[in-house]
Structure 1
Amino acid sequence: MFHLRFTVVVVVFYMMKTISATDLPESNLSKRVVEEWTPKLTKEMDARGQDFGSELFIRIFKVSKELEVWVKTDSLFELFKTYKICTYGWKGLGPKTRQGDGYAPEGFYFVTPSSLNPWSSYHLAFNLGYPNAYDRAHNYTGGSLMVHGSCASIGCYAMTDKGIEEIYTLLYASFMNGQPFIRVHIFPFRMTEKELNRHKNSKWYNFWLNLKTGYDYFEDKKIPPNVEVKLGKYVFE
């Protein structure tokens, strides 16, 4: 059963690739990586009852240095895998507010097919979309904030080459399967009451309370919320 399903998945995936490959940026490296990791990830997901190429959702946590990839199964999202972040901005907790400040973004972002960067100087990468509407509303500056390979960063999330290869392949397959954008929610830590209380004296406490509303929405429903910005705050539905 697995061999039949695996064959069908791979054939359909490459048929879709033929149809819409021009919609996605590609390099010789990204082609090799996707070809290498597709059967491995398909097998892993099949064992978990998940489908390669399904809709994805990503969460990032700074304190624990974790990037979670969630996969839509039926109507809800299930965790597929947690990847270790090698490093990010040296300033630690808090959102990025200006170019060169040493912080990595926190907040609610999304990536599109054009966000993929198969020519990155850091192996492979995808752009987080900073500054988003919230960042622009607060006149934050900076750009080209990525999730990428290697283990060096001044404000991006570095995953090591192996880590970004897996994640990049998952994003590529989801885009090829028609997902128009992938939400990426970035938090300083897991937004529990206990953790927030530990940081109640931070200047970012009210900002983190705002993030917690979106965090709680997903924790409760296992569906990421639609996110808008009104009056300088994130709002969720």
Structure 2
Amino acid sequence: MKLLVASLIIFMSISVKAQQSFKQQQLQFERVKMAYDLKWTTLEKELQQAGFQENFEMLVTAYKAEGKLEIWLKNQNKTKFALFKTYDFCAHSGKLGPKVTEGDLQTPEGFYKINVFNPMSSYHLSLGIDYPNEVDKARTGKDRKTGGDIYIHGDCVTVGCIPLTDDKIREVYILAVEAKNAGQPEIPVYIFPFRMTKTNFESYAKQYPQHIAFWNTLQPGFKSFEKDKKILNVLTKSNGQTILKR
């Protein structure tokens, strides 16, 4: 997926002042305006019924084996996230296990954040994640390419991204816009190979023994979020280590 750089809003480059008008900037794009026209009235009612106020924060979890993407929200005066909606992947790419090289068709596994809003995507609307992280780079090595351009997007095709259909991405996209517009600096995206319960881990480890060491670095994050429902304090180091800080 090629980026239209002039059209993209990248988190780290936006000032506090610009954050306040982020929604207005996004609404200048036809597809974003259409998404709001089609979805926002219903979403607002659902948010109110679920107890979420106007200014909420957002977190995304995804499970490759189950093909599920979850949207977690919390009011800014709360400490824990609560599940708001779950969406099915529309298509799958690759197998369980992390993305290693460009063109391997794998969907990444690890701890990321949304770093791009693309309102003019080739796949309707898309939210980019900041793959590769340091662990990914270390895994790929110096003589190979990590690949990139990993998105949560519309349509129903994929070569490593997470497609949701145009209808579903409209909801996810504008929820992310609302969270960003409310001042959330980073929206976490945690992509797990599967729901990393003890039973599931033992089962998938038998099928994919080559990934056990890596999955052992993801499971503490899964368990921590399942228990606390808080943003993880994750450090990914250039030597390929993932450290969950307390």
TM range (shorter): 0.7 to 0.9
Give the structure 2 partner of residue 62 of structure 1.
Answer: 64
Q: 1:17 to 1:96 in 2, by over 3 A?
A: same
Q: Does the CA contact (< 8 Å) of 2:110 and 2:190 recur in 1?
A: yes
Where do residues 38-187 of structure 1 align in structure 2 (5 Å cutoff)?
A: 38-73=40-75, 74-89=78-93, 91-112=94-115, 115-138=116-139, 139=141, 141-187=146-192
The alpha carbon displacement at 1:116 in A equals: 0.5
Q: Does the CA contact (< 8 Å) of 1:52 and 1:170 recur in 2?
A: no
Q: 1:179 to 1:211 in 2, by over 3 A?
A: same
The alpha carbon displacement at 1:224 in A equals: 2.1
Give the structure 1 partner of residue 32 of structure 2.
Answer: 30
Give the structure 2 partner of residue 233 of structure 1.
Answer: 241
Corresponding letter in the other structure for 1:236: L
1:216 to 223, 234, 245: 223
The alpha carbon displacement at 1:157 in A equals: 0.5
Corresponding letter in the other structure for 2:119: P
Q: 1:221 to 1:67 in 2, by over 3 A?
A: same
Residue deviations 1:68-120 (CA, integer Å, cap 9, x gap) = 0001141110000101111131x2211111011011111000013xx011111
CA RMSD of aligned residues (A): 2.0
Give unmatched runs, 5+ long, in structure 2. Answer: 1-16
Q: Does the CA contact (< 8 Å) of 1:110 and 1:129 recur in 2?
A: yes
The alpha carbon displacement at 1:19 in A equals: 4.8
Give the structure 1 partner of residue 22 of structure 2.
Answer: 21
Q: Does the CA contact (< 8 Å) of 2:128 and 2:152 recur in 1?
A: yes
SS of residue paired to 1:93: coil
The alpha carbon displacement at 1:129 in A equals: 1.2
Q: Number of matched residues?
A: 219
Q: Does the CA contact (< 8 Å) of 1:42 and 1:51 recur in 2?
A: no
Q: Does the CA contact (< 8 Å) of 1:57 and 1:70 recur in 2?
A: yes
SS of residue paired to 1:236: strand
- Runs of 4+ in structure 1 off by over 6 angstroms are none
So what's the TM-score if we normalise by structure 2? 0.83
So what's the TM-score if we normalise by structure 1? 0.86
Q: Does the CA contact (< 8 Å) of 1:17 and 1:176 recur in 2?
A: no
Distance 1:71 1:200 in 2: 31
Q: Does the CA contact (< 8 Å) of 2:67 and 2:88 recur in 1?
A: yes
SS of residue paired to 2:84: strand
The alpha carbon displacement at 1:48 in A equals: 1.1
